[in-house]
Structure 1
Amino acid sequence: MDKAELLAKLNESSPNTLMDTLGIVYTDFTGDTLTAEMEINSRVHQPIGFLHGGASLALAETVGSVLSITTVDSSNYYVFGTQVNGYHLKSVKNGKISATAQFINKGNTSHVVEINIFCTDDEGNTFKNCYVTMTNRIVPKNNFE
């Protein structure tokens, strides 16, 4: 499956999920990295009008988990995020954030992924907004039968 087909398939899997609710859209895939973006608006704000840190972490966990999914036989394995560590670096009220996940370590039963989130605000300024690492477990589906 080529990049365009994979991105279309990933985006088609989002209706009625958290990704749909948050407006997360997959935008790039290289084989080693996966990128998605999300508009910053009232759906993802804290009550005081800034981007909610949990929305950033949801975006990070989304691209981190799905990057792992792209490397396993999904007919036989599930991927579960088991640990997420996020460092919020700068507050933001508007614009768009883009998260890119890449592997730090890719084992047979676990993956460690690094996610960098950059923001482009409505004034056109781009800056690193959040740095995240996560661990994914690769679990045989027959464990759930």
Structure 2
Amino acid sequence: MKSRSQDTAIHALGIDFVELSADRVVMSMAVGPSTHQPAGILHGGASVLLAETAASIASEINIAEKNKYAAVGLEINANHLRSKRDGMVTATATPIHIGRRTMVWDIRITDESDQLICISRCTVAIVEKR
């Protein structure tokens, strides 16, 4: 059976699921040519994609009526605090607000030494499936 992340940005960037629970989602991503910007460092957009993926997956886990509703990104911000050339980054999403129609997540992206690379906040809308 084909994974839901097959043929998506999650798969293309090699994002791995590390921990999945209602109050914490952890995902990792290798830093290298596929996630670099032209200067040879981690692209801010790749960090934002990792952050929104963690928040969206966390929201999906928390949806009460999974057959009726889906999670979609509504707003995201990010502060890129440190550059990274290679290795791994890990995103940890924790809830700020879990509601019936919106969820807000704090996402911290760190490197192997637990150095903060990026901090993000993502609001996710809970919408009816079509």
TM-score (norm 2): 0.94
CA distance in 2, matches of 1:101, 1:126: 15
What is the number of residues matched between the two proteins?
A: 128
Unmatched segments (≥5 aa) in structure 2: none
Q: Counterparts of 1:17 and 1:134 in 2: how far apart (Å)? A: 20
CA RMSD of aligned residues (A): 1.3
1:31 shift after superposition? 2.4
In structure 2, what is the Cα distance between the partners aligned to 1:17 and 1:140? 22
* Higher RCO (Cα < 8 Å, 6 or more apart): 2
Which amino acid letter does the alignment assign opposite residue 118 of structure 1? T
Which consecutive segments of 4 or more residues in structure 1 shift more than 2 A?
Answer: none
Within the candidate set 111, 122, 127, 1:134 is matched to 122
Q: Deviation of residue 12 (structure 1)?
A: 3.2
Query: Structure 1 stretches of 5 or more lacking a match?
Result: 1-10
Residue 43 of structure 2: aligned partner: 52
Per-residue CA deviation, residues 98-122 of structure 1 (Å, 9 max, x unaligned), is 00111101111100111010012xx
Higher helix share: 1
Alignment of 1:69-84 (within 5 A): 69-72=60-63, 73-84=65-76
The answer to whether structure 1 residue 65 and structure 2 residue 53 are counterparts is no
Q: Deviations along 1:36-68, whole A, 9 cap, x unmatched?
A: 000001000011100000000000000001100
Report the TM-score when normalising by structure 1.
Answer: 0.84
* Structure 1 letter corresponding to 2:80: H
1:98 is matched with which residue?
90
